[in-house]
Structure 1
Amino acid sequence: MLSRMSAVMKTAPGEAGVGLGETDVPEPQAGFARIRVIATGVCGTDLHIARDEYGYEAPVVMGHEILGEVDAIGDAADEHWVSQRVATETYFSTCGRCAPCRDGRINLCPNRRSIGSFENGGFAPYVCVPVANLHAVPSADKGQDAGIGAVLAEPLACVAHCLCDPSVISPGDDVLVVGPGAMGQLSAQVARAQGGVVTLAGLPKDAERLRVARELGFSTTTEAPDAESFDVVLEASGSAPGAALAFSAVRRAGRYVQVGIFGRDVPLPFDAVLYKEITVTSGFASTPASWRRAMTLIEGGLVALDPLVTERVRIAEWQRAFENIREGRGIKTVIVPD
């Protein structure tokens, strides 16, 4: 096995600080597993890291939405994981001492170090993660690319954290999802699984994304909805106009859930919270509980993930993957090892 590998790395400030580099193939220590990467999804957070809008520590291999196969472990007690197809939680370490950690809310640990931002991630052929982070996913039956949608397990867990713990949607609720990207598509599917009647909203340029949503059985629109016409709105665009539309569309005493990340301060019509007595909630990253929700949704066939993977690019072509995010092309682009 080679000792060095190519990877997409953040090495310096700004988008110019992201590029193709070379790093050591990691060796798992006790309590860790090495994953041979099948694919890693490109997330809006990766673009925020590139733009210095999200915390990171350079140099670091980027990428945190990982689908792979365990090929080595650091402790013989974990031998049963070898050759299993897995997705992984993103936390490399937390302090274990702060109030959120002691409350079991490790996603809120101020000293959390996550893969792809503070520890090496998955835009590479191999990555090491704690064994405790592993989740087995259904085995592919048509080669390593079958079921590649499982690369979306991590963002699905983030959506589950926003929507399921506790549940924000009741059966029969009219639900508007703003933004038809990956997080919006996943939010729509989880909302439907909770009994919501879901409409997915986008812009005219989102025609292809909205087509996929319709094929998955959702109503879609490119028009601004009537004011106060939805019980629950899920803002997944990460844009100020999307948030403004959502605050307008939610009914009095309704619920607004922030799923997308803005990456910067934005103006919001927040008086609507007062005038309409809106309940505003969100969820940062994921938790072990939300991962259990996500894996249950996958195993139960309640979410369709493969149709959301719209392009695969090699590590050497990583710039195309990032450009897809910037331009809103496709739904989920994944980077696969060269």
Structure 2
Amino acid sequence: MLAVVKTGPGADNVVLQAIARPRALPGTAVVRVIATGICGTDVHIAHDEYGYEAPVAMGHEILGEVVEVGDPEDVAWIGARVACETYYSTCEVCEWCRAGRRNLCPTRRSLGSFEDGGFAAFVRMPVLNLHRLPATLGPLDGVLSEPLACVAQCLLDPPVIDAGDSVLVTGPGAMGQIAAQVAQAMGGRVTLAGLARDSERLAIAAELGITTTAETPPADSFDVVIECSGSAPGAAAALRAAKRGARYVQVGIFGRDVTLPIDLVLYKELTVSSGFASTAQSWRRAMALLAQGAVRLAPLVTRRVEITDWQLAFDAAQAGEGIKTVILGADSAV
């Protein structure tokens, strides 16, 4: 089968090539890929700014259908439409795994970076990490389940927003759009901030009922600031916009060392938190938000491409075009 593979160091070493179709092993399932979203992490992997082990088929925001299982007791999964946690394996014995924080396992191996991922026709993954999608979802809604679970990890475990809080979200990409919706579902009075060039993205958020701005956020104005741009200017703007005693939540990945006015954390007594990837609990929260209709994901899928046009998808993601670009599975009908 064809797959988008990171073959080694350098952005030129991301290629479309044939790899073996996976087969189910004990404890695993083979999923036919319907679509896989391009994440900022994929762009970072392409440019060697995020850990990986080459060669590896990329892609971890996977929507698919289970077609094969390795154990007879898992046969009920056959035919299920699923999204998946990004882990392929963790040690299960370290202090973080034992505490239910498998996302922090030092030996964690994840799909799309250390194990073959979803930019392919089929992908193998542990049954333990599968999540059935609510039947009410549209054809491509589930492709954003993994980013939603990551946002839930940042904002809901534990909750960082109280009803009535003024909330600033910086960066109107997929993570910012989802974070804004989750913050609003928590009762926050949300403003999503972008740049002048983000007008189309901000318009989509406005249609979803989110207040938006392309202006510099006012200083000392927000109870909670959520940084989703993954840029130093965005983070600096969020720190300056936070009130004294406010909370700063880092969601975006910079991919490199950046310079920030970090003394503001001290001067304002800010509480700083984040969340890396997702946990089983954050996935349960994500599925509940979808089932309740509290978060709408379909409008965020702004471009879909065939796997043979994967370079167009990567270029769009790197250029910040649209919100979420997805690569379709080889025989996808969506």
TM-score range, shorter chain: over 0.9
The 5-angstrom pairing of residues 118-137 of structure 1 reads: 118-137=114-133
TM-score, scaled to structure 1: 0.96
Size of the alignment, in residue pairs?
Answer: 330
Q: Distance in 2 between matches of 1:150 and 1:121?
A: 16
Q: Where do 5+ consecutive residues of structure 1 fail to align?
A: none
Q: Distance in 1 between matches of 2:217 and 2:35?
A: 37
Q: Distance in 1 between matches of 2:41 and 2:288?
A: 25
1:177 alignment partner, one of 169, 172, 179: 169
Partner of residue 69, structure 1:
65
Q: Distance in 2 between matches of 1:139 and 1:224?
A: 41
Q: Distance in 1 between matches of 2:136 and 2:99?
A: 37
Query: What is the CA deviation profile of residues 46-71 of structure 1, one whole-angstrom value per residue up to 9, with x for unaligned ones?
Result: 00101111110000000000000001
2:184 alignment partner, one of 185, 192, 212: 192
Query: What is the CA deviation profile of residues 251-273 of structure 1, one whole-angstrom value per residue up to 9, with x for unaligned ones?
Result: 00000000000000000111001
**1:60, 1:121 within 8 Å by CA — same for their partners in 2?**
yes
**2:300, 2:324 within 8 Å by CA — same for their partners in 1?**
yes
Partner of residue 87, structure 1:
83
| In the alignment, structure 1 residue 32 sits paired with structure 2 residue 28 | yes
Partner of residue 218, structure 1:
210
What is the DSSP-based 3-state SS (H/G/I as helix, E as strand, rest coil) of the residue aligned with 1:79? helix
Q: Distance in 2 between matches of 1:288 and 1:153?
A: 13
Query: What is the CA deviation profile of residues 123-155 of structure 1, one whole-angstrom value per residue up to 9, with x for unaligned ones?
Result: 0010010001110013479xxxx4302100001
Q: What is the RMSD of the two structures over their aligned residues, measured on CA atoms?
A: 0.9
CA spacing shift, 1:169–1:140, aligned 2, 3 Å: closer
Q: State the Cα distance separating 1:30 from its structure 2 match.
A: 1.1
Partner of residue 202, structure 1:
194
Q: Distance in 2 between matches of 1:313 and 1:114?
A: 24
The 5-angstrom pairing of residues 144-183 of structure 1 reads: 146-183=138-175
Identity %: 63
What is the DSSP-based 3-state SS (H/G/I as helix, E as strand, rest coil) of the residue aligned with 2:82? strand
2:95 partner amino acid: A
Q: Distance in 2 between matches of 1:158 and 1:225?
A: 25
What is the DSSP-based 3-state SS (H/G/I as helix, E as strand, rest coil) of the residue aligned with 2:311? helix
Q: Distance in 2 between matches of 1:73 and 1:284?
A: 29
| In the alignment, structure 1 residue 301 sits paired with structure 2 residue 293 | yes
Q: State the Cα distance separating 1:14 from its structure 2 match.
A: 1.3
| In the alignment, structure 1 residue 102 sits paired with structure 2 residue 98 | yes
2:27 partner amino acid: G
**2:134, 2:287 within 8 Å by CA — same for their partners in 1?**
no
Q: State the Cα distance separating 1:103 from its structure 2 match.
A: 1.7
Q: Distance in 1 between matches of 2:263 and 2:287?
A: 38
Query: What is the CA deviation profile of residues 141-175 of structure 1, one whole-angstrom value per residue up to 9, with x for unaligned ones?
Result: 9xxxx430210000100000000010000000000
2:84 partner amino acid: T
Q: Where do 5+ consecutive residues of structure 2 fail to align?
A: none
What is the DSSP-based 3-state SS (H/G/I as helix, E as strand, rest coil) of the residue aligned with 1:24? coil
**2:33, 2:122 within 8 Å by CA — same for their partners in 1?**
yes
